[in-house]
Structure 1
Amino acid sequence: METKQIGTTDLRIPPVAFGCNVLGWTMDRKQSFKVLDELYEMGFNYMDTADVYSRWVDGHEGGESERILGAWMKERGLRGRIIVATKVGMDVGQGHIDLSRSHITQQIEKSLHNLQTDYVDIYFSHRHDPNVEVADVLETYAGLIKEGKVRHVGASSFPLDVFKKAIALHEQHELPKYQIYQPEYSILHRTDFENGYQDFVLQNDIAVTNYWALANGFLTGKYESIDDIKGTSRESNLKKYFDDKGMRVLKALQQVSQDTGISQAGVTIARTIAQPGITAPIVSATKPGQLQAFREAATNSLSKDHLAMLNKASLDG
């Protein structure tokens, strides 16, 4: 499996990243270990988590995902072979987005404890904090890098002007560089990334691991009509996709799937991998069988005609 470099670092990751938000949420510890085992055996060793996962569940406080991932790495003796990315800044009890020095230094200790490790490979600013100067955030990260607790840093869902400022500060003042960026991006949500961010990351050697690549499961082909989601926990998140554009995309995915023998999820991930600037889409799975789409996407390239068909179907209007 061909790996891709993270920015200008020495890290290389597989073409699909595993979204660990499901660990301890829709999967218990036993099922999580089973999926992680198969994932690793297939060669996928980049794990994307966050201190806030899965605080949104009643009775959860955040850190559930990190704790399961940490326990799995410890029990299997795999820490040195896993590339771990976690994030800081979302509300884990403080009531607001927080990238202050005190919060970051507190949360990195919690994350390291949860993950049962003394360092993380990539530490993300989960969201931009407008109340903290960008330079101050980068200086905090510089301290963590110097202490050996963080190897590299990344940013998620930043306003483009703020992200550009962060890269300029790196160049002007030798502060840490955000080596990796994490936007929402899928065949159904193209505009934000493709209009500005895409050119910028390509010009500045910044890796991209995009989230919601499967649009909450809509693009897997599991749901063919809005009737399929009525009364389910996914209804509120998925109903917006059942418009003319969404149905065109599903039809095109189905056609490419039939032509290639690849699952619709595999086609969707492969299409994302093929886009300029994308290093590895983040995809979750809750059953070992769902990991087949990872392998399909990593080992198959879509033809120019199929990519053109998908791009045309996903145009607005």
Structure 2
Amino acid sequence: MTELRRSMETVSIGTVMRTSALGLGCMEFGTRIPANRAFAVLDAYYDEGGRFIDTSNNYAFWAPGGKGGESEEVIGAWLRERGCRGEMVIATKVGAQPTEPGAGLEKAEGLGAATIAAACEASLSRLGLDEIDLYYAHIDDEATPLEETLFAFEQLRQRGLVRGIACSNYSVDRFKAARGRSLAKGWQPYAAIQQRHSLLTPNADHDLGLQRTLDERLRAELCTSGIPLIAYSVLLGGSYDNGVLPPGYQSERNAQVLSAVRETAIEMETTPNEVVLAALLDSSFPIVPLIASSDPDRIRKLMKAAVLKLPEDKVRSLTAGC
């Protein structure tokens, strides 16, 4: 086993599982990324020690010809063909699949008990699994009583259909309320939270829709509790490599961080993207950054960040304020 593969098995999610430090985002599998290409990406990720696969039941309904569920189907086919189910942590989500063809998130399925139960069965079938390792509430559903959602997840866990639960795009208040309610009832609480996060921070007036970013209150909660953040959009569509701030990220602080990332990459003879990932991995609380690409070689390069160690002063300066 290589140094890279040894180093990847490092992150705990609750008390129920450990997984690789870098996760693989699979949003476009089966739509923009055809199955054969997705298999090559999954193979590259697996070969480099990656063991955390992140998807959703609604990926990718918005793509041309997409209905939702395509990503899960591709992952399920890969798991069957490669025979590596026992080595992988499979995470998927419920709550954001539109209930009508052609609709958007305004018609999201929500987090009612019946919806969660039916969606779980459908995801298990597409993935070819008996049990989902980590099942997320994809977006918050304030129209459904929180306890109804949490009890539905607990019932799935008690039936052996789900190992652990998490949430995504929740406010810190709702996240803490959900965990508190579950613990008071003796149920397994949310073991992780998935949010949009990178070293660069969006401007306060930048509209990200239902996507939520890490704020200071959530950061404090995660630092205190040790609950991991599953971070998406960490590389901001290539902004670090091309040296251009993305729309909605124009600020003096971001310009300084971007410049520092690129200077550090030159100093350490690596890429800006690897510097970003390495800095996030050394943050003051656990982070599992999700990487994504249609290029297997790019995945292999990004995985090198798992063994890239930045000087402590670099980590502090790059992560300050993000």
Code of the aligned partner of 1:52:
N
Q: How does 1:49-68 map to 2 (within 5 A)?
A: 49-68=55-74
User: Using the alignment, how far apart are the partners of 1:40 and 1:62 within structure 2?
Assistant: 24
User: Using the alignment, how far apart are the partners of 1:7 and 1:289 within structure 2?
Assistant: 28
Partner of 2:111, secondary structure, is: coil
Unaligned runs of 5+ in 1: 227-237
Determine if the alignment matches structure 1 residue 296 to structure 2 residue 304. Answer: yes
Contact 2:279–2:319, Cα closer than 8 Å, also in 1: no
Aligned to 1:234: none
Q: How does 1:16-95 map to 2 (within 5 A)?
A: 16-94=22-100, 95=107
Aligned to 1:251: 259
Contact 1:6–1:179, Cα closer than 8 Å, also in 2: no
User: Using the alignment, how far apart are the partners of 1:23 and 1:282 within structure 2?
Assistant: 15
Determine if the alignment matches structure 1 residue 123 to structure 2 residue 135. Answer: yes
Please report the RMSD computed on the Cα atoms of aligned residues, expressed in angstroms. 2.1
Code of the aligned partner of 1:292:
R
Partner of 1:165, secondary structure, is: helix
Partner of 1:21, secondary structure, is: coil
- Comparing 281-290 with 243-252, greater Cα deviation is found at 243-252
Contact 1:20–1:47, Cα closer than 8 Å, also in 2: yes
Q: Number of matched residues?
A: 301
Aligned to 2:222: 201
**TM-aligned CA distance change 1:116 to 1:137, over 3 Å:** same
* Cα distance per residue 1:15-71 (max 9 Å; x no partner): 111111131233211111111111101110100000111111122100111110110
**TM-aligned CA distance change 1:33 to 1:177, over 3 Å:** same
* Cα distance per residue 1:210-239 (max 9 Å; x no partner): 1111123222x1x3458xxxxxxxxxxx43
Query: 1:157 offset after TM fit, Å?
Result: 1.2
Query: 1:242 offset after TM fit, Å?
Result: 5.4
Partner of 1:183, secondary structure, is: strand
Code of the aligned partner of 2:221:
F
Contact 1:66–1:115, Cα closer than 8 Å, also in 2: yes
Determine if the alignment matches structure 1 residue 277 to structure 2 residue 285. Answer: yes
User: Using the alignment, how far apart are the partners of 1:245 and 1:145 within structure 2?
Assistant: 44
**TM-aligned CA distance change 1:7 to 1:225, over 3 Å:** closer
Code of the aligned partner of 2:15:
T
Aligned to 1:107: 119
Query: 1:135 offset after TM fit, Å?
Result: 1.1
Aligned to 1:14: 20
Query: 1:256 offset after TM fit, Å?
Result: 0.4
**TM-aligned CA distance change 1:82 to 1:311, over 3 Å:** closer
Code of the aligned partner of 2:143:
N
Partner of 1:54, secondary structure, is: coil
Partner of 1:180, secondary structure, is: strand
User: Using the alignment, how far apart are the partners of 1:292 and 1:45 within structure 2?
Assistant: 14
Partner of 1:169, secondary structure, is: helix
Structure 2 length-normalised TM: 0.87
Query: 1:304 offset after TM fit, Å?
Result: 2.1
User: Using the alignment, how far apart are the partners of 2:316 and 2:88 within structure 1?
Assistant: 35
Contact 1:118–1:149, Cα closer than 8 Å, also in 2: yes
Query: 1:187 offset after TM fit, Å?
Result: 0.6
Q: How does 1:86-235 map to 2 (within 5 A)?
A: 86-94=92-100, 95-189=107-201, 192-219=213-240, 221=241, 223-225=242-244
Code of the aligned partner of 1:269:
L
Query: 1:193 offset after TM fit, Å?
Result: 2.2
* Cα distance per residue 1:220-278 (max 9 Å; x no partner): x1x3458xxxxxxxxxxx43345544443332111100111121110011111111223
Contact 1:265–1:293, Cα closer than 8 Å, also in 2: no
User: Using the alignment, how far apart are the partners of 2:235 and 2:298 within structure 1?
Assistant: 12
Code of the aligned partner of 2:129:
T
User: Using the alignment, how far apart are the partners of 2:227 and 2:271 within structure 1?
Assistant: 30
Partner of 2:231, secondary structure, is: coil
User: Using the alignment, how far apart are the partners of 2:292 and 2:119 within structure 1?
Assistant: 24
Code of the aligned partner of 1:188:
L
* Cα distance per residue 1:77-104 (max 9 Å; x no partner): 1111111000000033251350001111
Unaligned runs of 5+ in 2: 1-5, 101-106, 205-212
Aligned to 2:271: 263
**TM-aligned CA distance change 1:287 to 1:148, over 3 Å:** same
